Structure 1
Amino acid sequence: MKKGVKIVTIGGGSSYTPELIEGFIKRHHELPVSELWLVDIEVGKEKLEIVGAMAKRMIRAAGIDCEVRLTLDRREALIDADFVTTQFRVGQLDARIKDETIPLRYDMIGQETNGAGGMLKAFRTIPVVLEIVEDMKELCPQAWLINFTNPAGMVTEAVLRYGEWEKVIGLCNVPIIAVKNEAAVLEMDEEALFFKFAGINHLHWHRVYGQTGDDLTEVLIDKLYGPDAKPEKLVENIKEMRFLQEQIAQLKMLPCPYHRYYYMTDSMLREEQEEAQKEGTRGEVVKRLEESLFELYKDPNLNYKPQELEKRGGAYYSDAACEIINSIYNNKGTKMVVNTRNRGAISDLPYDSAIEVTSIITSHGAEPVQFGKFPPAQRGLLQIMKAMEELTVEAAITGDYATALQAFILNPLVTSGDTAKAVLDEMLEAHRDYLPQFFK
Structure 2
Amino acid sequence: MKLTVVGGGSTYTPELVDGFARLRDTLPVEELVLVDPAAERLELVGGLARRIFARQGHPGRIVTTDDLDAGVDGADAVLLQLRVGGQAARERDETWPLECGCIGQETTGAGGLAKALRTVPVVLDIAERVRRANPRAWIIDFTNPVGIVTRALLQAGHRAVGLCNVAIGFQRKFAGLLGTAPADVHLAHVGLNHLTWETGVRLGGPEGENVLPKLLAEHGEAIADDLRLPRALLDRLGVIPSYYLRYFYAHDEVVGDLRTKPSRAAEVAAMERELLAMYGDPALDEKPALLAKRGGAYYSEAAVDLAAALLGGGGSPYQVVNTFNRGTLPFLPDDAVIEVQAAVGPTGPVPLPVPEPDPLFAGLIANVTAYEDLALEAALRGGRDRVFRALLAHPLIGQYAYADTLTDRLVAHNREHLAWA
Smaller-chain TM-score bracket: over 0.9
**Residue in structure 2 matched with residue 255 of structure 1 by the alignment:** 241
What is the CA-CA distance between 1:384 and the residue it aligns to?
0.2
Tell me by how many angstroms 1:135 deviates: 0.7
Match of 1:184 in 2: 176
Q: Give 3-state SS (helix, strand or coil) of 1:146's partner.
A: strand
Percent identity, aligned pairs only, is 36
For residues 144-167 of structure 1, give each alpha carbon's deviation from its aligned partner in whole angstroms, at most 9, with x where no partner exists. 001101111111111111x221x2
- Residue 322 of structure 1 is matched in structure 2 by 304
- 1:103 matched to which residue of 2? 97
> In structure 2, which of residues 382, 391, 394 is the aligned counterpart of residue 399 of structure 1?
382
**In 2, are the aligned partners of 1:122 and 1:151 still within 8 Å (CA)?**
yes
Q: Given residue 86 of structure 2, which amino acid in structure 1 is its aligned partner?
A: Q
For 1:85, which of 66, 76, 79 is the aligned residue? 79
1:116–1:224 Cα change, 3 Å: farther
Deviation, 1:220, is 2.5
Amino acid at match of 1:198: V
Tell me which of 326, 341, 364 is aligned to 1:343.
Answer: 326
CA contact (8 A) 1:243 1:264 kept: no
Contact 1:241–1:268 at 8 Å: present in 2 too? no
Aligned positions of 1:100-139 closer than 5 A: 100-139=94-133
- Residue 68 of structure 1 aligns to a residue whose secondary structure is strand
- Give the CA deviation at 1:315: 1.0
Q: CA deviation at 1:97?
A: 0.3
Aligned residues: 417
In structure 1, which of residues 190, 197, 202 is the aligned counterpart of residue 194 of structure 2?
202
Kindly indicate whether the alpha-carbon contact (under 8 Å) linking 1:200 and 1:355 is maintained by their aligned counterparts in 2: yes
Listed one character per residue, the Cα deviations across residues 10-34 of structure 1 (whole Å, up to 9, x for unaligned) are: 0010001111111111222342211
Structure 2 residue identity aligned to 1:209:
R
Question: 5+ residue gaps in structure 2?
Answer: none
Tell me by how many angstroms 1:118 deviates: 0.6
One-letter identity of the residue aligned with 2:242: C
Provide the C-alpha distance between the structure 2 equivalents of 1:66 and 1:193, rounded to a whole number of angstroms.
32
Tell me the equivalent position of 1:294. Answer: 276
- Whether contact under 8 Å (1:16, 1:318) holds in the other structure is no
Choose 172-181 or 293-302, whichever is displaced more.
172-181
Distance 1:8 1:210 in 2: 35
Superposition map of 1:155-234 within 5 A: 155-161=149-155, 163-165=156-158, 167-206=159-198, 207-210=200-203, 213-225=208-220, 229-230=221-222, 232=224, 234=226
Q: Is the 8 A contact 2:323 2:338 kept in 1?
A: yes
Confirm or deny that 1:241 pairs with 2:253.
no
Distance 1:366 1:12 in 2: 25
CA distance in 1, matches of 2:409, 2:144: 22
Q: Distance in 1 between matches of 2:364 and 2:111?
A: 19
Shift of 1:328: 2.2
Q: Which runs of 5+ in 1 are unaligned?
A: 235-239
Q: Is 2:31 the partner of 1:35?
A: yes
* Distance in 1 of aligned mates of 2:8 and 2:356: 40
**Structure 2 counterpart of 1:273:** 259
1:191 and 1:109 mapped to 2: Cα distance? 36
Separation (CA, whole Å) in 2 of partners of 1:87 and 1:232:
30
**CA distance, structure 1, for counterparts of residue 355 and residue 331 of structure 2:** 8
**Which residue does the alignment assign to 1:355?**
338
Alignment of 1:50 with 2:44, yes or no, is yes
Task: State the secondary structure of the residue aligned to 1:182.
Answer: helix
The C-alpha deviation readout for 1:296-351, integer Å capped at 9, x for no partner, is 10000111111110000111113311221122221445321111111222222211
Q: Which residue of 2 aligns with 1:383?
A: 366
SS at match of 1:129: helix
The alpha carbon displacement at 1:75 in A equals 0.8
Amino acid across the alignment from 2:288:
P
Q: Secondary structure at the match of 1:396?
A: helix
CA distance in 2, matches of 1:184, 1:374: 27
1:313 match: secondary structure: coil
CA deviation map 1:100-130 (0-9, x unaligned): 0101111111011111111110110111110
- Between the aligned partners of 2:177 and 2:122, the Cα distance in structure 1 is 41
Contact 2:30 2:61 in 1 (8 A): yes
TM-score (norm 1): 0.91
Cα contact 1:195–1:209 (8 A) shared by 2: yes
- Determine whether 1:76 maps to 2:76: no
In the aligned structure 2, how far is the partner of 1:425 from the partner of 1:222?
47
Q: CA deviation at 1:191?
A: 3.4
1:188 is paired with a residue of what secondary structure? coil
Q: Are residues 270 and 30 of structure 1, via their aligned partners in 2, closer, same or farther at CA, if it must alter by over 3 Å?
A: closer
SS of equivalent to 2:285: coil
Structure 2 counterpart SS, 1:33 = coil
Mapped to 1, the partners of 2:292 and 2:331 lie a distance apart of 36
After superposition, what is the alpha-carbon deviation per residue over 1:165-205, rounded to whole angstroms, capped at 9, x for unaligned?
Answer: 1x211111111111111222333333333311111000011
Q: What amino acid maps onto 2:141 in structure 1? A: N
CA–CA separation in structure 2 for the residues paired with 1:346 and 1:249:
25
Q: Which letter does structure 2 place at the counterpart of 1:22?
A: D
Residue 19 of structure 2, aligned match among 4, 7, 23 = 23
Contact kept? 1:185, 1:223, Cα under 8 Å: no
1:271 maps to amino acid: D
**What CA deviation, in whole Å up to 9, does each residue of 1:335-371 have, x standing for no partner?**
2111111122222221122110011221222121111
- 2 CA distance for matches of 1:213 and 1:70? 45
Contact residue 153 and residue 355 of structure 1 kept, 8 A? yes
Instruction: State the distance in 1 between where 2:406 and 2:105 align.
Output: 14
Distance 2:71 2:36 in 1: 11
2-side partners of 1:400 and 1:376: how far apart?
Answer: 34
